[in-house]
Amino acid sequence: MSSIARIGHFVPMLCAIDGYDVDGFARIAARFGQYRYGFVVTPNADHLIRLSEDEQFRRHYAAASYTLLDSRVVARLLDLSRGQHIPVCPGSELVEALFAGVIRPQDPLVLIGSSAEQAEALRQRYGLRNLAHHNPPMGFVDDPVAVEACLHFVEAHSPFRYCLLAVGSPRQEMLAHRLAERGIARGLALCVGASIDFLTGTELRAPQWMRSLCLEWAFRLAQSPGRLAQRYLVRCPRVFGLLRQYEIVLRKAPLADASSTTPVGI
């Protein structure tokens, strides 16, 4: 992904999105297997802004195996402004679908981030018998020893069916990319943000009618105004103008046969 500006000529930033909704990608994830490594990123408005600002973040995204549009607001803007219909696959809904219909109690899973209480809640709710959990310390990305411990934990529990990276952006994308570069881990890693908070009831999801009307951001803002006001009221509105600088490309076909043992997007 790149942005190039030349005198008298402007080349827009390119963002390729895989055209899956939740049900569609859940089927891909169910067949991914444990013989290769891949990772999933889920761009929302905040991510698109970060992509325009941060070269390192663009490199993380470029290495991803799958890029799934997380934001109904962005999807609606693209539909209204360009007539471009992009399927939406919110990360939180994808994780919920995987636990509800794909993950089996015996599946090897890795959870990075979230509390010990949340990990235990997942074990109890879904009868998980093989969930490995590691919660790195706050600010771990600035400590090479803590980052290495996190990466080693994932690799030590590989192959896994899924590795859920729940440490927030851009930390989770950095970890996913580093795992790809090291080439040791096997399984599908998903950058899931606050999905575990929703799944365990630590944070409330917006009701379905608010999600359908693209108002989930307002519900979350009402729940945590001090934490989210800067993000939703100051930072994220920048995406309205920023989208003009993006060329959004829809990849309709799977990136690779899910039964293949060859890593994709790496």
Per residue in 117-139, pLDDT tens?
999 999 999 999 999 999 999 99
1 pLDDT above the threshold of 80 = no
Q: How confident is the model at residue 18 (pLDDT cuts 50, 70, 90)?
A: very high
Q: Would you say residue 177 lies in a domain?
A: yes
Query: Is 0.85 topped by the overall pTM?
Result: yes
Q: Would you say residue 256 lies in a domain?
A: no
Beta strands 37-41; 187-191: pairing state: parallel
Identify the pLDDT of residue 177: 98
Q: Would you say residue 24 lies in a domain?
A: yes
Q: Would you say residue 131 lies in a domain?
A: yes
Burial of 47: CB neighbours in 10 Å, binned 0-12, 13-18, 19+: buried
Domain extent, residue 222, equals 13-251
Q: Would you say residue 161 lies in a domain?
A: yes
Q: Would you say residue 130 lies in a domain?
A: yes
Q: Would you say residue 2 lies in a domain?
A: no
Q: Would you say residue 189 lies in a domain?
A: yes
Number of compact structural domains in the chain: 1
Per residue in 199-221, pLDDT tens?
999 888 888 888 887 888 887 88
